[in-house]
Structure 1
Amino acid sequence: MVLSVGALRRDMNDLAVETWRKIETGDEQGLAFGENSLTDHNLWTLAQKHPGLNVHRFSQNREKETGADWEWWIGSMAQGWLCLRVQAKRAYRRTYPELDHAGNGDDDYQYDTLINSCDLLRGEYPLHVFYNGWKRKYFGHDSGWAAPAKWRACSGNAGPGKCWHAHPVHYGCAVASSFAVKAVHDLRCSNRRMVTAHLSWALPWSYLFGRSRLGRRVRTGAAEPKVATATPEWLDWVQANLDSLVDELPADADMRPRLPGSTQTDDRRQRRAEQLPAYANAVRRGTVQDSLQEISFMSPVASCVIVLDIDAEERGEADNHTGGSLDYEAWKARQGDLG
């Protein structure tokens, strides 16, 4: 099943808006949607709309050891695999209080554990997805933006309210490199948990999969392919995009990770996993329930796993052992005919 990149980005933007509304109005109604419920809903919705995405939540996983709430594997057996390993944090009022969450073992913070679980040489990227939502003038800016955070969503450098590329509510699901999150939080300053400090390094999460550049100052080093579906060229661009997130950090950051080698496409392809771990391959094939014994020796890194195989249609694989969904719409239509 070929994935429509444009449709995926649109649906991610729609989910960002929905997430924003849930937080903006839900808290007032005593319905404080948590990180897990928001993640489950968003990934389930993407999987329902895009059959090329395979999603599974595991009850046994190594989340405490890795700090990952979910991970996204993108690629193919022929092209290799990229892993987006994600830690989700929800905004409460003006801060992300859970950034203070302690890490595993000797790690100071949970984001340290996440970063240490990733290997850039194997295409494993640590990311934070921030769930946001607030009233329009909550931060004093008429556009609804969290001023004084930088607005990085416009390739033309237009500010919120004037930008045609994104609206502040598209930051309902905002993505940032975990290296940038660490750089800000490790400064030990008073705003280390503030929404405004971290959104300066964030983008709408849909930008992971389709932007020619990330603001005026951040370039991917590769032109975004003008393709409608997920292809090897698109995968190359996604990796260049992820590399750009790793490279840009606050000027006063103590730690500056450097990606090895050149930024040529062939060199980037060397920095990918050749094979999926057993649990992710079971998700890819839709055979998790049949493979529990096979994957029991290697617990998933995160509780929720999503896999996109860009060669799925060429493989002709559409494994589905659930027997199909109950056809409620057909039942309703039949009731109408009878009436």
Structure 2
Amino acid sequence: MATHSDLTAAMDYLAVDTWRRLEHGQPRGLAPSEESITDHVLFELNQQFPQILVHKPSKKEEARLGADWEWWIGSDTRWLCLRVQAKKFFGHHYRYLGHQPKGGDDRQIDLLIEGCERRGHLPYHVFYNGWGSDHFGGNDMAALHANRRYFPHIPWQPMVMRNPTHPDGYEEVALGENNPRWWGCSALPSRIVVGLMRNSPPHYVPRYLEHAMPWSMIFSTTRASRARDAVPKAFVDAVDVIHWRLLRGPVNVRGMVRMFSPDASERANPSVLDEWRLTTLPSYVRAVVDGRHDLTAASLTDMLDGQLPVRRLVFTDLADFPSNGVG
């Protein structure tokens, strides 16, 4: 049975592989698109872990939602939903970060955040990165090298990576914990993203990587030593720790500032998470879990509540990935 560590290691591998594909593809005009990378990484996760269910949305629905995919994370009666927007770097910028869908007045990122606020979901951005060592100046990447997010989960174990120039087609790669390739797929709460966009230039890559985490940290159960990152001592269950970390990012949602203040955090117990968690899945999610990939599966109640069914839906039941505990 696949473990929690297997899942995070697979996400680490896909991040490094995404970096490789963009680093070598961009100069040749052969870099994959955001859509292609998203399909690839989700396909690979589903192939390696069939228990991770993936169902793809239409482009029309993405424009309405401002999201590339929904990611349901939890188990039993404890669920959080991330709505994720993916952006790929171009040159030195995330060129389409402020993208405005055709026929609309709102930016994609604003649609994402507003939709999440109405539904109690968490808006996140995933950035796709990859460039050569001389692409940015030394000072540009200083923030990333200082961005220690208690990562990676497997810092000294080499990974077997595809390498067409190697005689065997593969090579072992060992990366230090601050190697930028861990950020080939990086994640950042969208409310932090929209705040950073107010600075000039608004889409400059290093500004976002200073705050972003490798996307496998979405499933991190590692206890941090810094007070502002610390997991309350009462949190001993992996689901609760993962949810606590995911909720810490968008701190300006519905009173989370109070909940996540240093004093309150130390005294917190898992029950404080229940205000934001769902105990039952929407009907369109349940339809995917049950193997009924049909948009008509959404109930009238879900539709009236604004719970639009999406086709690129990722469902991860953490009970399928046993953890060795919170460390």
Structure-2 residue corresponding to 1:55: 54
In structure 1, distance between residues paired with 2:230 and 2:96: 30
In structure 2, distance between residues paired with 1:200 and 1:306: 27
Identity of aligned residues (%): 33
Cα-Cα RMSD: 3.2
The structure 2 residue matched to 1:125, chosen from 114, 122, 127, is 122
Structure-2 residue corresponding to 1:151: 146
Q: How does 1:224-239 map to 2 (within 5 A)?
A: 233-239=237-243
The structure 2 residue matched to 1:176, chosen from 184, 188, 192, is 188
Change (3 A) 1:47 1:32: same
The structure 2 residue matched to 1:110, chosen from 75, 85, 108, is 108
In structure 1, distance between residues paired with 2:311 and 2:92: 28
In structure 1, distance between residues paired with 2:47 and 2:19: 21
Number of aligned positions between the proteins? 286
In structure 1, distance between residues paired with 2:82 and 2:39: 16
Q: What's the offset of the Cα at 1:266?
A: 0.8
**1:177 is aligned with what amino acid?**
P
TM-score by length of 1: 0.74
In structure 2, distance between residues paired with 1:129 and 1:46: 16
Q: What's the offset of the Cα at 1:105?
A: 8.3
Structure-2 residue corresponding to 1:316: none
Structure-2 residue corresponding to 1:32: 31
Say whether the 8 Å CA contact 1:211–1:224 is kept in structure 2.
Answer: no
> What are the ranges of 5 or more consecutive residues in structure 2 without an aligned counterpart?
152-174, 322-327
In structure 2, distance between residues paired with 1:283 and 1:220: 35
Determine whether 1:94 maps to 2:92: yes
In structure 2, distance between residues paired with 1:296 and 1:127: 26
Say whether the 8 Å CA contact 1:154–1:215 is kept in structure 2.
Answer: no
Structure-1 residue corresponding to 2:42: 43
TM-score by length of 2: 0.76
Q: Which moved more, 1:112-121 or 1:198-207?
A: 112-121
Q: How does 1:1-339 map to 2 (within 5 A)?
A: 3-59=2-58, 62-76=61-75, 78-102=76-100, 108-119=106-117, 122=120, 124-141=121-138, 146-149=141-144, 151-155=146-150, 164-185=176-197, 187=198, 189-213=199-223, 216=226, 218-222=228-232, 233-247=237-251, 258-259=255-256, 263-288=268-293, 291-295=294-298, 298=303, 300=308, 302-311=310-319
In structure 2, distance between residues paired with 1:264 and 1:38: 38
Say whether the 8 Å CA contact 1:89–1:96 is kept in structure 2.
Answer: yes
Say whether the 8 Å CA contact 2:284–2:309 is kept in structure 1.
Answer: no
> What are the ranges of 5 or more consecutive residues in structure 1 without an aligned counterpart?
157-162, 227-232, 248-254, 314-339
Q: What's the offset of the Cα at 1:136?
A: 1.1
Change (3 A) 1:135 1:301: farther
In structure 2, distance between residues paired with 1:168 and 1:224: 33
Change (3 A) 1:275 1:175: same
Structure-1 residue corresponding to 2:155: none
In structure 2, distance between residues paired with 1:166 and 1:126: 26
Q: What's the offset of the Cα at 1:295?
A: 3.3
Q: What's the offset of the Cα at 1:270?
A: 3.2
Measured against aligned partners, the alpha-carbon deviations of 1:95-137 in whole angstroms (never above 9, x if no partner) come to 0010121269886421111111114984x11000000011012
Structure-2 residue corresponding to 1:319: none
Change (3 A) 1:284 1:112: same
Say whether the 8 Å CA contact 1:63–1:301 is kept in structure 2.
Answer: no
Measured against aligned partners, the alpha-carbon deviations of 1:206-249 in whole angstroms (never above 9, x if no partner) come to 011115256846414336978xxxxxx211111110122223xx
Change (3 A) 1:138 1:217: farther
**2:58 is aligned with what amino acid?**
S
In structure 1, distance between residues paired with 2:77 and 2:289: 15
Change (3 A) 1:220 1:246: farther
Larger radius of gyration: 1
Q: What's the offset of the Cα at 1:171?
A: 0.3
**1:275 is aligned with what amino acid?**
T
